A and B are shown apart, each in its own frame.
Chain A
Amino acid sequence: MAEASTRVVREYETIREVRGPLVIVEGISDAAYDEIVEVELPNGEKRRGRVLETAQGYAVVQVFEGTTGISARGTKVRFLARTLEVKVSDEMLGRIFNGLGDPIDGGPPITSGVWRDINGDPLNPAAREYPEDFIQTGVSAIDGMNTMVRGQKLPIFSGSGLPHNKLAVQIARQATVRTGEEFAVVFAAIGVMHDEALFFKKFFEETGAIKRAALFINLADEPASVRLITPRLALTLAEHLAFDLGMHVLVILTDMTNYCEALREISASREEVPGRQGYPGYMYSDLASIYERAGRAKGKKGSITQMPILTMPNDDITHPIPDLTGYITEGQIVLSRELHNRGIYPPINVLMSLSRLMKEGIGPGKTREDHANVSDQLYAAYSRAVELRSLAAIVGEESLSEIDRKYLRFGEAFEQRFLSQGFFENRSIEETLDLAWEILAILPETELYKIKDEYIRKYHPKYRKKAQQQQ
């Protein structure tokens, strides 16, 4: 920032080439890498862009709002002698912005605040604090088996038409920590359709959640280059709220698939060597520069918890977008079309879901001592049940052993009672675990080999009943 401000604004009218979202300006020899550019069209319209490549004699500029209407003649390109910065402040809570951070709710412009580079700096691994505060989302499949902690980045892997928005909203509404501190929500809609944007706006406004939320909305019909900016804006605000002002921030980014499509589009227009399926080879690093902006830090009270949402093209989890995301994030919540079609909400495929930070967030003092064992047992038993279900479909239930048939009944109960819950149903972690025990009791006790004996005697409904009778 400091080094840029000593230089002056330079103006050029020498556009050599316009290609896709890119403008190549000739004659300039001192454009800085990542410098911000203002493009003024002959009709006076102003657009913003940034320098992607600089050399002696030319600079490659990416125009955020697209190049439609830009002509090689009469268009002025101003190099603004600073990198892409945004003014962030807690004034932005309760407000709605477009994808470039301009207010679109009719309210006044943001006046106070600090200027920050939207790319941020990498958080020093030696300054990080390990996330370990349990977040109760009130959703059994998450709290019980894929526990979220404060400072985690846990995405939802969904498919088109699945209720990921509904689930995200339910989580945003219900998420609490046991100490009762509330989350501020920074919400970035990236390339979403109008109706989706309305759904979120309505939710935030109707529930009053807007008071502690900032919304950045980039619509699908707006230029692709803006999509690369929107999540970074949101995260720059989140970092300010968390690490300067000590707030706990939940960041929801939807839909990261649109972000990646925009990245591919711009990469292609730069004629870069493509990696898998035409996505640029640096997509992993690029996504990491977004997802890694989450966590806790030493000496800072606040935290950033990230929940990116992405739709898997053709429900394919091996597609580069979910694949690279899964390698960066600390787990994933996977939604299943099959469960959704069977009317189960939330349709969480727990077997494919995972929370990597779960182990630190659960147990005595945080949730309950039996939590880890119960979760492991649910996983093992449900995965057996699913396996046996496909076997039974071929050979018939009769050719299964008695124990195997109990597993099938367990599987049914797991989906209908544990997984399934209402949009407004907010289960406490105790309710979730007790429910788990009820369905585990369908199986013989000798099958509960992931649970310590002492917990069986303490929490298994059979012994609980006995204990109650004795009292």
Chain B
Amino acid sequence: MGVKGRIIRVAGPLVVAEGMTGIQMYEMVEVGEERLVGEVNRIVGDKAYIQVYESTTGLKPGDPVYGTGAPLSVELGPGLIGKIYDGIQRPLDAIREVAKSIFIRRGIKVPALDRSKKWHFKPSGLKPGDKVSGGDILGEVPETPLITHKVLVPPDVHGVLKWVASEGEYTVEDTIATVEVPGKGEVELKMYHKWPVRKPRPIREKFEPAEPLITGWRVIDTMFPIAKGGTAAIPGPFGSGKTVTLQSLAKWSEARVVIYIGCGERGNEMTDVLVTFPKLKDPWTGRPMMERTILIANTSNMPVAAREASIYTGVTMAEYYRDMGYDVLLVADSTSRWAEALREIAGRLEEMPAEEGYPSYLASRLAEFYGRAGRVRTLGSPERIGSVTITGAVSPPGGDFTEPVTANTKRFIRVFWALDARLAYSRHYPAINWIMSYSAYVETVAEWWHKNVSPKWKQYRDEAYDILLREDELKEIVRLVGTEGLSEKDKLILEVARLIREGFLQQNAFDPIDAFATPQKQWKQLEAIIDFYHAALEAVSKGVTVKQIKDSLAVLMRELVMTRYKVPNDKVEEIDKIKQQLIEGLQKLVEGQRTAPAIAA
């Protein structure tokens, strides 16, 4: 059926072929005798410009190019979870077996979903004669102990159900239903279908993100929360802890499905995820995290064109699980590498460069990508709500946030976790700079916190934030006059700000207890610090000095910081005890003040 042409030019990942009349834009093609995978991204007359997803070494003019008649698509069905794919959904573990090598040889074709594995299909109760349309649930498959895979009618199929398979074991290639589609006749449905990656999957309606996506990270959940269906960017120079932060999000967030895209990043980071996720237990269910995770690895040394596609491959899978009614978290590390792939391909196509060599459509591509996030009512029945939350890392050159990728990303995201190299240098992790970061969801998620955790959440959160802002101002003054020149109240601000920074904002991703804090623990820690501040403020106003407080309460203050490591999530009342001791200690100081007022001056 396909078009067949031949190569007339090869330059890096770009191949130009002639004799391609009838080829479509973004059609997938196979290049050369080895049938390397490529995609058409410009058509001029009978010439097609093709970006090739594998190394083009050895290709030469005259080699054949075959059209496939379909755009670059992914397979969506049971068996995705727990897998590691490359940027165009080739299973990397299967490639390893086929190639019998630790290296990725090109030209290897392995289907994304295992064709021989049998899945236990249980029909949903739809009967022959029922009208079905895209998104309807035909049945269920236990994909992993964590994920029940809903077998969906593909979004573009509408008709009358003629037959549905009975409960039993099937492979993804077995027909499990037939549908009479007006104008098309009988269509056979399998447990999987294909969907073009560059086309968003349709939905019924989008909602405003209002529920927080709890991540277990204090600085995120309490200070700069992300909502289900929201968008966030995490920019930072190298060494500021982007990857650790993103991996922690993937590990601990309450999303039901996590899709982690290693886009142009380090190979060992993907290995890290592959090694640690099966061992780690999801705090929400106690099951291994790999049972809810899909990895897409197109590392920096893998072909650059596939890197460009990897983002779309990932977000299409995310939408698919969203359509089943799940909350999905998509982590893209890093969107800058994706943008660079875009730039490289644009350069080879000799397109007019805009800022810093990036193509002029960089902004619209970013908007399209982040636009695929959202909390939605899906197609089909029964009615369900799902979400795709997108967090993208940005790697600004030299840590310069004004460069095109960071600047354009900021326009399309609602949460900005700015990583700061200076914080990372002093091992303040996560190195999220609280002055530069923001979240547009603070107001919207407050309701959830007030209902489920404490009605004082917003007030205390804002107070803690104000103390941090005030500390920042005071530091300027300290630079001129030294700490001793400050008023007692300001000295207290500095001490409490330090408690907030060390006991609250910082979090150790690798400590078994500290790595994940429940909203309840977060709240108790915040409450303890702010209540201590209130009591200390009163003590200071009664003449107690900050030095006295530190001299007599240093051990307890350290204890309060150490609750991070010492108090597990199921024993948060321990924090109250320390708080009580601190407040009593302050009261004693006030009493001592009354009996010996002469010292106070």
Contacts and interface: CB of A to CB of B under 8 A. Distances in A.
Interface of A: 3-4, 29-35, 52-56, 83, 117, 119-131, 151-152, 243, 272-276, 281-282, 284-285, 288-289, 292-293, 295, 297-300, 318-320, 323-324, 326-328, 330-332, 351-352, 354, 356-357, 359, 372, 376, 379-380, 383-384, 391, 394-396, 399-401, 404, 444, 446, 449, 452
B62 A295 contact: no
A332 B424 CA distance: 13
Interface in B122-168: none
B337 interface: yes
A170 B336 CA distance: 37
B104 interface: yes
A383 B426 contact: yes
A327 B397 CA distance: 9
A390 B470 CA distance: 21
B481 A399 contact: yes
B479 A391 contact: yes
Contacts of B482: 391, 395-396, 399-400
Contact of A56 (B61, B239, B267, B425): B61
Contacts of B484: 399-401
B502 A395 contact: no
B272 interface: yes
Nearest to A152: B268
A394 B340 CA distance: 44
Interface stretch (B92-100, B436-444, B454-462): B92-100
- The interface centre, meaning the residue of B271, B424, B558 with most chain A CB atoms within 10 A of its CB, is B271
A293 B102 CA distance: 12
B8 A56 contact: yes
B323 to A, nearest CB: 28
Contact of A281 (B8, B95, B357, B426): B357
Interface string B362-395: 0000000000000000000000000000000001
A13 to B, nearest CB: 20
Contacts of B481: 395, 399
A274 B353 CA distance: 10
Contacts of B16: 55
Nearest to A272: B347
Given A281-B343, A404-B483, A128 B62 contact: no
Interface string B463-492: 000000000000000111111110000000
- The interface centre, meaning the residue of B301, B395, B400, B479 with most chain A CB atoms within 10 A of its CB, is B301
B60 A123 contact: no
Interface in B76-119: 84, 92-93, 95-96, 99, 101-106
9 contacts: A33-B56, A125-B84, A274-B357, A276-B356, A285-B340, A328-B300, A352-B239, A399-B482, A452-B565
B102 A297 contact: yes
Nearest to B347: A273
B510 interface: yes
Nearest to B509: A359
A33 to B, nearest CB: 4
A281 B555 CA distance: 54
A446 B102 contact: no
B519 interface: no
A34 B56 CA distance: 8
A53 B11 contact: yes
B551 to A, nearest CB: 10
Contacts of B452: none
Contacts of A126: 84, 92-93, 95-96, 274, 297
B102 A243 contact: yes
Contact of B427 (A124, A273, A293, A380): A380
Q: Closest 4 CB pairs between A and B?
A: A318-B398, A399-B482, A288-B300, A383-B426
A52 to B, nearest CB: 8
Contacts of A131: 268
A168 B304 CA distance: 32
Given A124-B96, A276-B356, A400-B482, A327 B299 contact: no
B9 A55 contact: yes
A330 B8 contact: no
B238 interface: yes
Interface string B24-38: 000000000110000
A444 B353 CA distance: 58
- The interface centre, meaning the residue of B11, B12, B57, B93 with most chain A CB atoms within 10 A of its CB, is B57
Interface string B252-269: 000000000010101110
A125 B299 contact: yes
Interface of B: 8-12, 16, 33-34, 55-62, 84, 92-93, 95-96, 99, 101-106, 237-239, 243, 262, 264, 266-268, 270-272, 274-275, 297, 299-302, 304, 337, 340-341, 343-344, 347, 353, 356-357, 395, 397-400, 424-428, 478-485, 502, 510, 547, 554-555, 557-558, 561-562, 565
B426 A295 contact: no
B239 A331 contact: yes
Given A285-B344, A352-B425, A401-B484, A33 B57 contact: yes
A394 B485 CA distance: 13
A130 B247 CA distance: 16
A55 B270 contact: no
Contacts of B57: 32-34, 83, 117, 119
A359 B555 CA distance: 29
Contact of B59 (A32, A284, A328): A32
Contact of A288 (B106, B301, B395, B558): B301
A124 B480 contact: no
A26 B332 CA distance: 45
A300 B299 CA distance: 21
Contacts of A34: 56-58
Contacts of A391: 478-479, 482
A327 B92 contact: no
B419 to A, nearest CB: 13
A125 B92 contact: yes
Contacts of A281: 340, 343-344, 347, 357
Nearest to A350: B425
B554 A446 contact: yes
B530 to A, nearest CB: 20
Contacts of B8: 55-56
Contacts of A127: 92, 96, 101-103
Contacts of A130: 268, 271-272, 275
A452 B561 CA distance: 12
B480 to A, nearest CB: 7
Given A130-B275, A332-B239, A384-B426, A123 B102 contact: yes
A125 B274 contact: yes
Contact of B9 (A54, A276, A356, A394): A54
B347 A123 contact: no
B343 A275 contact: yes
Given A281-B344, A298-B102, A320-B397, 19 more contacts: A35-B60, A53-B10, A54-B59, A54-B61, A55-B8, A120-B103, A122-B267, A127-B96, A128-B271, A292-B301, A323-B238, A327-B395, A330-B268, A351-B425, A391-B478, A395-B480, A395-B481, A401-B484, A449-B561
A326 B240 CA distance: 11
Given A281-B344, A352-B425, A359 B58 contact: no
Contact of B105 (A121, A125, A272, A274): A121
A32 B58 contact: yes
B485 A399 contact: yes
A122 B58 contact: no
B197 to A, nearest CB: 20
Contacts of A300: 102
A446 B262 CA distance: 41
A330 B266 contact: yes
Nearest to B271: A128
A119 B54 CA distance: 14
Contacts of A121: 55, 101, 103-106
Contacts of A328: 266, 300
B301 A400 contact: no
Contact of A292 (B243, B267, B347, B478): B267
